[in-house]
A and B are shown apart, each in its own frame.
Chain A
């Protein structure tokens, strides 16, 4: 404890350290402020969609109170599947600037590639990425930690004071540990405070997510302090400790993730969207040409939907065609989903190659802007499309009008959040993996940092 207090006092006297800590605080504050913009934009969009959906719902209700509606008419109105804004958008913007916030679902366009409209954004901004809290925590936080803690004993070794310290009988590993924690403490504390602040304006109860986020950040910080200790076990001078720490950062934060990204996309290449579009149209063309023939075979498959008297109208034909198109392109679509799943599971497997990946994945997962929640939305929209078809198709084929008894059964979309246990399991695995890495790095460092080794090599 005395060692710790003394180290902290030393740090407080260092003007460069003060400058670094203040700079880090400024960077964190900017990131939080900057991230708020995206969160606000999402909330506004969601609210607007909610209002228009409610207005439409009310209208349908009023009409149905007076008269029945032809299902053909109602089915033409597109329904909006709205993605609930992420629980902690300030923590990490993740895929939020890319993934559409809503999707239009309409019975006669079910087989159209899902909402082709994309939110307007300058592509170079997407390329650069946002200056959000996750960026500061994953990229810059380790730099600040290393800048404060890269020289734990290397400098003393260079100047010869190390031997004096060792002569006083302090266990070197203890000395290094205390020093690392004391020097890292201000930056760690700031990072944790900013993580907690990211839940400040959140709507839902996000306490558990924040607690997990703090654990993720803490484990990541400890990893980098362990790297600092390891570097000091080897480096003979402060300059070489600095370059080794820098090299570790470049490798772990810059090189491994970008390289893994290229590798993942090369090993599991996405099928071609262009092909999907063209083959969907080919299937649609085929179906259209086969017209009435198609319809009779369709009713062979769906005798329960056969209209009384078998006089099919245009809409019924359209539905039958759509069914045919779906059958033709479903395999291609399934390949998309499968490749993306494979890509993600490869990322899951290899994320511990770089704790930066594991941390980024965990933070976007906690923020609700990562792969999993986006994927859940996709899956739920697909299920919703099925519900829309199941509701309207039999009524259209059977010429059954929609009455007020159907009100409760009208398809409506509400996004169901994943059960807490699901994301908690993933994040816990990530934290445990990172702590495992910390132990591993510390073990290697410890072997190098015994008094005997140090005494010999500093001589």
Chain B
């Protein structure tokens, strides 16, 4: 019986002109958005690879110079493009793409793509993910709002139930039929999209298949929730018109209002410092240390005394190595502690904010979906932090090697020392290790759990509503 009801509902859905128009538009939007995003992703990847190659040449051909000066000359590293970003661009347009690595300083990634854009950017971007997050629920609502309320209004509900069909079978069959209609539209597009991924350069993505499966699960749970809720409302509402009004209000609240409202509220409760405050505090700590006891000069003086004592000499000129290089190594170590503390605190705070916004997924499943989707697509803050941290590690190692060279190879007190291409070549290019898929799944875990919770709750609501199905028009 359930299968027969489902089949009828499936056929009806595809016969409905509104759904057909909606489905065609949806398919068109998803396909054009994905193709345009694909082109953009490929271009960005080529550009960044070319720039990285050019930057490597610049580094190798910088000529002979003091190895510490080479540290100041520095090197730019570019953030690799996440191929799954063509599905969900996440925060990518709003984080820097280029990071300058130099001696003494940890920089933030600069050149935010959104800065090079018109204010149209603020309307958001049409990607496959925004289509599925904002528009697909509307299609579901359009499909489902009248499925029971409409029958009740027309009087056919009474007829069907008088035939002895159990209300639960009817509701379940209808839900399955509508779900199948939706799946018959979205699954082929999803499969085509997955095929598109396989054509991309996916060297620095770990577990592409797992990520894609996770995305399918997240969106499936989300749209399943919307469908179950829509049918529930249709079963309980007094008229199709009221069901539609309620569903559209819920949609606007959850998808349009909630993201901004929740984000702004969370940021008021857990504020981030301004750039000026952040730099002021960091510079203070660079000068006087994290404990704030001794100024930098005093600590370096103590370090010099300690070094002299260790080697049993009275003057730095008598040390078996270049003292300048030795001090540079120590001051980098000291600064590194300060950077770790300040950047660590800032980034922890940002992740805390993101977690709080995800938790608000209890109120709007869209927030849970967004966070899970970005984490799996590799375009959330955790992935960006992974890049920033790896680049900083690279910077420290690179500056350390240069300072070590100065310490070992420059004669004490020799200011004319220069190193050359051999040393430049010994420093490897920056390669970003892939973000492990397990960690991505872990990041997406909270969102996925909330989505699963929503789905179960919506199914329970549906079950309950089916039990209370009323025949008469109120």
Residues on A lying within 8 angstroms of B by beta carbon are 27, 30, 34, 37, 41, 45, 48, 94-95, 98-99, 113, 116-131, 135, 139-140, 143, 147, 237-239, 242-243, 246, 250, 254-255, 257-266, 269-270, 272-275, 277-279, 281-282, 285, 288-289, 336, 340, 343-344, 347, 356-357, 360-361, 364, 369-371
* 8 Å CB contact of A255 from B29, B108, B256, B274: B29
Cross-chain contact A277 with B98 (CB below 8 angstroms):
yes
Secondary structure of the B contact surface, majority rule: helix
In the docked arrangement, what's the CA distance between A160 and B257, Å? 37
Render B380-391 as a binary contact track against A, CB cut-off 8 A, 1 for contact: 110010000000
A118 contacts B108, C-beta separation under 8 Å: yes
Q: How far is the CA of A293 from the CA of B241 in the complex (A)?
A: 81
Query: Is residue B202 contacting chain A, with contact meaning CB distance below 8 A?
Result: no
In the bound complex, do residue A274 and residue B78 qualify as a contact, i.e. CB atoms below 8 Å apart?
yes
Residues of A within 8 A of B37 (CB): 262
B267-A122 in contact (CB<8A)? yes
In Å, the complex CA distance between A288 and B121 comes to 40
Contact yes or no, A259 B272, CB < 8 A = no
Evaluate contact between A285 and B47: CB separation under 8 angstroms: no
* Bound-complex Cα distance A108 to B119 (A): 32
When A130-B264, A250-B138 are in contact, do A123 and B95 touch as well, CB less than 8 Å?
Answer: yes
A353 to B244, CA, bound (A): 27
Contact A278 B51 (CB under 8 A): yes
Q: Is the CB of B124 within 8 A of A261?
A: yes
B350, closest chain A residue (CB): A122
16 of the cross-chain contacts (CB-CB < 8 Å) are A120-B278, A123-B91, A124-B94, A124-B381, A127-B94, A129-B124, A243-B18, A250-B135, A259-B33, A261-B121, A261-B126, A262-B126, A273-B98, A343-B117, A357-B123, A370-B119
Q: Name the distance in Å between A361's Cβ and chain B's nearest Cβ.
A: 7
Give a binary string over B410-451; 1 marks a CB under 8 Å from any A CB, 0 the rest: 000000000000000000000000000000000000000000
User: Do B119 and A122 have beta carbons less than 8 Å apart?
Assistant: no
Q: Is the CB of B63 within 8 A of A288?
A: yes
Given A261-B121, A279-B54, A336-B116, A285 and B256 contact (CB-CB distance below 8 Å): no
CB pair B100 A347 closer than 8 Å: no
Contact B40 A266 (CB under 8 A): yes
- Mark out the residues of chain B between 114 and 164 whose CB falls within 8 Å of any chain A CB in the assembled complex: 114-127, 130, 134-135, 138, 142, 146
Find chain B residues with CB under 8 A from A270 CB: 113, 116-117
Rounded to whole angstroms, the CA-CA distance of A352 and B43 in the bound complex is 30
Q: Is the CB of B263 within 8 A of A128?
A: yes
How far is B121's CA from A128's CA once the two chains are assembled, in angstroms? Answer: 11
State A264–B120 Cα separation when bound (angstroms). 9
Which of B62, B118, B248, B252 touches A371 (beta carbons < 8 Å)?
B118
**A113–B110 alpha-carbon span in the complex (Å):** 10
Contacting pair B47 A274 (CB below 8 A):
yes
**Bound-state Cα–Cα, A98 to B54, Å:** 29
Complex Cα distance, B139 from A444, in Å, reads 27
Considering only residues 84-110 of chain B, those with a C-beta below 8 Å from chain A are 90-91, 93-98, 100, 107-108, 110
In the complex, are the beta carbons of B117 and A273 less than 8 A apart? no
Chain A residues within 8 Å of B117, by CB: 265, 270, 340, 343
Chain B residues, Cβ within 8 Å of A254? 134-135
Is B213 in contact with chain A by the CB < 8 A criterion? no
Contacts of B267 in A (CB 8 A): 122, 125
Is B124 touching A343 in the complex (CB atoms < 8 A)? no
User: Does the CB pair A242–B354 fall under 8 Å?
Assistant: no
State whether B241 touches A45 (Cβ < 8 A).
Answer: no
Q: Which A residues are in CB contact (< 8 Å) with B120?
A: 257, 260-261, 264, 343, 347, 357
* Chain A hits for B107, CB < 8 A: 116
* Complex Cα spacing A122 to B353, Å: 8
On whether the beta carbons of B33 and A131 are closer than 8 Å, the reply is no
A135 to B258, CA, bound (A): 13
Distance in angstroms from B452 CB to nearest chain A CB is: 22
Contact B256 A94 (CB under 8 A): no
| Bound-complex Cα distance A357 to B146 (A) | 33
Q: Is the CB of B111 within 8 A of A273?
A: yes
Once the chains bind, are B51 and A272 in contact (CB under 8 Å)?
A: yes
- Nearest chain A residue, comparing its CB with the CB of B51: A274
Contact A340 B259 (CB under 8 A): no
Q: What are the residues of chain B within 8 A of A356 when measuring CB–CB?
A: 123
Given A120-B275, A238-B241, A255-B135: A130 in contact with B260 (beta carbons within 8 A): yes
In whole angstroms, how far apart are the Cα atoms of A84 and B400 in the complex? Answer: 43
Distance in angstroms between the alpha carbons of A117 and B279 in the assembled complex: 11
Q: Which residues of chain B have C-beta atoms less than 8 A from A288's C-beta?
A: 63
Residue among B51, B98, B130, B244 making CB contact with A243, cutoff 8 Å: B244
With most chain A CB atoms within 10 A of its CB, the pick from B39, B239, B257, B353 is B257
Whether B276 and A371, one on each chain, are in contact in the complex, defined by CB atoms closer than 8 angstroms, is no
How long is the Cα–Cα vector from A246 to B252 in the complex, in angstroms?
11
B118, A264: Cβ atoms closer than 8 Å: yes
Contact A124:B263 (CB < 8 A) given known A264-B120, A273-B97, A277-B98:
yes
Partner of A126, one of B63, B94, B123: B94
Of all A-B residue pairs in the complex, the 6 with the closest CB atoms, nearest first, are A274-B51, A116-B110, A257-B123, A272-B47, A123-B91, A258-B126
Contact check, B125 vs A258: say whether CB atoms are below 8 A apart. yes
How far, in whole Å, are A327 and B112 apart by their CA atoms in the complex? 25
Q: Are A122 and B36 in contact (CB under 8 A)?
A: no
B116 to chain A, nearest CB (A): 5
Q: Which residue of B lies closest to A263 (CB)?
A: B36
A-side contacts of B93, CB under 8 Å: 127
Contact yes or no, A99 B115, CB < 8 A: yes
Kindly identify which residue among A131, A135, A239, A347 contacts B244, using a CB–CB cutoff of 8 Å.
A239
Say yes or no: A131 contacts B264, CB within 8 Å.
yes
Q: In the complex the two chains form, is A125's CB within 8 Å of B62's CB? A: no
Q: How far is the CA of A124 from the CA of B443 in the complex (A)?
A: 15
By a CB distance below 8 angstroms, the chain A residues around B272 are: 120-122
Query: Please, how many angstroms separate the alpha-carbon atoms of A37 and B268 in the complex?
Result: 9
Smallest CB–CB gap between B429 and chain A, Å? 13
Chain B 267-308 per-residue mask, 1 if CB under 8 angstroms from chain A, else 0: 110001111101000000000000000000000000000000
Q: In the complex, which residue of chain A has the Cβ closest to the Cβ of B142?
A: A243
What residue of chain A has the Cβ atom nearest to residue B134's Cβ? A254
Contact check, A344 vs B252: say whether CB atoms are below 8 A apart: no
By a CB distance below 8 angstroms, the chain A residues around B384 are 123
Give the docked Cα–Cα distance between A273 and B267 (Å).
30
CB distance from A289 to the nearest CB of B (A): 6
Q: Are A285 and B58 in contact (CB under 8 A)?
A: yes
Which of B50, B63, B116, B239 counts the most A-chain CB atoms under 10 A from its CB? B116
Q: Is the CB of A285 within 8 A of B61?
A: yes
